[in-house]
Amino acid sequence: MTLSSMRISKFVGNGATPPLSTGRFAPATTKADLLPVQPLSHCNDSESAIAANGIRMEYRAGGHVQTVLQDINLTIQPGTIQLLMGPSGSGKTTLLSILGGILSPTDGHVSLLNTDITQLSKRKLAQFRLHNIGFIFQGFNLFDALTATENIAVALKMKGVKPRQARQEACYWLEEVGLGDKANHRPPNLSGGQKQRVAIARALAGNPPLIMADEPTAALDSHSGQAVIELLCTLAKENERTVLMVTHDPRIKRVADHVTYLEDGQLQPTDTLAEYEGGQSVLDESWPQSA
């Protein structure tokens, strides 16, 4: 067992509170402050974490058929950061929703961690998503009646985590995203950027092997956005999580392992990326290259 596995096993096994850092949004934070997670046991280096084959998505209304996605074939390896870029309306969020098992494609198959999720029943698919995917939505999707801590803890309790342990882990991740002092605040009393960080903490809690993020930095200022990307990079590079991120920010591709460009519902050749300059960056020019 690795040191990282021993530390996370100790935390998960006995409900002990991990040593809290000052948060990834504080200057003193280092990568060593991040709670280690268990490495993926679902797939090895020769297997894909995410695989889409022949994906097509159509919407029918009033006798008309609108094709949103067509001929999508995509493979993403474990422990990598994959960006999905393209102009607004190109189908990025739809594709992310299909890859995450939220939407069912008209045709094609999606395999996550060697499981064909397009063949699962609704109940089994819901359980698969719960235990294997951390979602970061643009709309936050927080419960207004719950505090920041409770919004995270309730998701953990759905996974079978005991209430005390769920609260401890929720507090840990709030510290990691710089919101330790907002633990008892409810969403109506948080700014848009703060709500986004609560949503990010919720997605990371429970150590899911897959992180799927839709514009995770859109509501954040440059400093907070940079810290979020650093955190996601650490999870991928040091803790073997796979990160799929939809973004308009061309500078984020400097930290990605792979970039896929989508336009008019189709994947485009890699050289098309050189021509893409959409969106305003939230990251400064000094954002480091991926290790």
Find the helix or strand (DSSP H, E) in which 266 lies.
strand 266-267
pLDDT of residue 270: 62
- C-alpha separations of 67 from 62, 71, 246 in Å: 14, 11, 20
pLDDT of residue 37: 35
CATH of domain 42-270: 3.40.50.300
Tokens coding 221: 């200022």
Instruction: Give the span between the Cα atoms of 82 and 199, in whole angstroms.
Output: 20
The answer for residues whose C-beta is within 8 angstroms of residue 9's C-beta and 6 or more apart is 1, 38
pLDDT tens series, the chain, 291 aa: 332 333 333 333 333 334 334 344 443 333 333 333 333 344 554 589 999 999 999 999 888 999 999 999 999 999 999 999 998 899 999 999 999 999 999 999 999 999 999 999 999 999 999 999 999 988 899 999 999 999 999 999 999 999 999 999 999 999 998 999 999 999 999 998 899 899 999 999 999 999 999 998 887 888 878 888 888 888 888 878 999 999 987 778 788 999 999 999 999 876 444 445 444 444 444 444 433
Instruction: Give the span between the Cα atoms of 201 and 214, in whole angstroms.
Output: 14
Tokens coding 275: 């021509």
> Which DSSP string corresponds to 65-91?
EEEEEEEEEEEE-TT-EEEEE--TTSS
pLDDT of residue 273: 47
- Buried residues in 129-157 as b, exposed as e (16+ CB within 10 A): beebbbbbbeebebeeeebbbbbbbebbb
* pTM higher than 0.75: yes
C-alpha R_g of the chain: 19
Task: Please check whether residue 117 is in contact with residue 110, taking contact to mean a CB–CB distance below 8 angstroms.
Answer: yes
pLDDT of residue 84: 94
Nearest to 25 by CA among 154, 156, 176, 130: 176
Instruction: Give the span between the Cα atoms of 117 and 167, in whole angstroms.
Output: 31
Q: Where are the domains of the chain?
A: 42-270
Instruction: Give the span between the Cα atoms of 180 and 148, in whole angstroms.
Output: 10
Q: How many CB atoms are closer than 10 A to CB 213?
A: 25
The label of the residue with tokens 């268990």 reads: 38
Strands 50-61 and 64-76: antiparallel
